[in-house]
Chains A and B, each alone.
Chain A
Amino acid sequence: MELFVFIAAAAMVLAGAFGVILRPNPVHAALSLVLTLFGIAVLFVAQEAHFLAVVQVIVYAGAIVVLFLFVIMLLGVDRTDDLRVEPFRVQRPVAIVMGVAIVGLVSAAVLSGAGDPSQTITGEQSVGGTLTSSEPNINTLARSLFSDYVFAFEVTSILLVVAVLATVVLARRPFKVEPRAEEESSDESEHEVPSR
């Protein structure tokens, strides 16, 4: 049963990922991204990370993709890109070679401990908390987050406030800059201003 869930979710993830990079229309790419994000959420549920699956759906599919679609429609850039033109000639073959190399190297690194399946993932376990306890996943996660990582958690609140302020400053229409000639104009224009 878990095998079928994994295969279906992996097919969703990869179909969405290829849709993002191959669809010429940015709106279709954003909707393919939703497919990938939901597939990832299903894989989180399959690995018993229920809280992260919910956050994935709310934050990514609910906020980030909506923000993408909002920007696409605000700017009116939803016209189709012509993917056949290749502005930089050798880039596409080199990029594909690089992608194949990433898959090959990471697979080699992951499978280098093959033979003994328990040795596939190596590393030391920290003392932060184990998943095998009978309590729900969210309790363990919350205890880790609010004890070991509470300072980092507080810093993320500063990060979010700074990000919101930066976006407001960036996206605001700039003030009308008066041309220089008007600032240096004669006294007549200065007297006209209060009379309005």
Chain B
Amino acid sequence: MMLADVVPTPTWYLLLAAVLFAVGAVGLLIRRNPLVMFMCIELMLNAVNLSFVALSVGLDDINGQTAVFFVLVVAAAEVVVGLGIIVAILRRKPGANADDISMLRG
């Protein structure tokens, strides 16, 4: 079989999404800068979006892509609120990393 004839199946996309999700989760745990941790959350959201679309194509069903649409909207709202919180924290404590943010501790 010619190499160019190989067509990627949805399984390939699901495996790529698994790797991308794992990279995002590891980054969320090992980084200490709150902004970079937020970017890692975006990586995980994108991995989930990719697997939604792959399953939508695999099952021949549009509802997976509708779910991706809602994930995009909620991700936009989440980023806006999260960056607002980060701005409020870093204005009070410039250069704070995730270990320094213990203001909510009772």
- A positions within 8 Å CB-CB of B: 1-4, 6, 10, 13-14, 17-18, 20-21, 26, 29-30, 33, 36-37, 40, 43-44, 46-49, 51-52, 55-56, 59-60, 63-64, 67-68, 71-72, 74-77, 79, 81, 87-88, 91-92, 94-96, 98-100, 102-103, 106-107, 110-111, 117, 120-121, 123, 125-126, 128-132, 137, 140-141, 144-145, 148-149, 152, 156, 159-160, 162-164, 166-167, 170-171
The B interface is mostly helix, strand or loop, or mixed, namely helix
Residue of B nearest to A97 (CB): B26
| Partner among B3, B29, B62, B87 whose Cβ is within 8 Å of the Cβ of A131 | B62
- B positions within 8 Å CB-CB of A: 3-4, 6-16, 18-27, 29-33, 35-36, 38-40, 42-43, 46, 49-50, 53-63, 65-66, 68-70, 72-81, 83-88, 90-91, 94-95, 97, 99
Answer whether A87 and B32 are a contact pair too, CB < 8 Å, given A10-B16, A102-B21, A160-B77: yes
**Chain A proximity of B22: nearest CB distance (Å):** 4
Contact B91 A33 (CB under 8 A): no
**B29 contact set on A, CB distance < 8 A:** 91-92, 94-95, 98
Task: Give A14 to B27 CA distance when docked, in angstroms.
Answer: 13
**Chain A proximity of B53: nearest CB distance (Å):** 5
The A interface is mostly helix, strand or loop, or mixed, namely helix
Answer whether A159 and B40 are a contact pair too, CB < 8 Å, given A10-B16, A21-B31, A131-B57: no
Task: Give A170 to B30 CA distance when docked, in angstroms.
Answer: 27
Residue of A nearest to B35 (CB): A26
Contact B73 A156 (CB under 8 A): yes
Contact A144 B66 (CB under 8 A): yes
Contact B22 A100 (CB under 8 A): yes
Task: Give A188 to B31 CA distance when docked, in angstroms.
Answer: 55
Answer whether A110 and B18 are a contact pair too, CB < 8 Å, given A52-B65, A167-B80: yes
Residue of A nearest to B85 (CB): A170
**B58 contact set on A, CB distance < 8 A:** 120-121
Residue of A nearest to B23 (CB): A17
Answer whether A52 and B69 are a contact pair too, CB < 8 Å, given A3-B3, A63-B76: yes
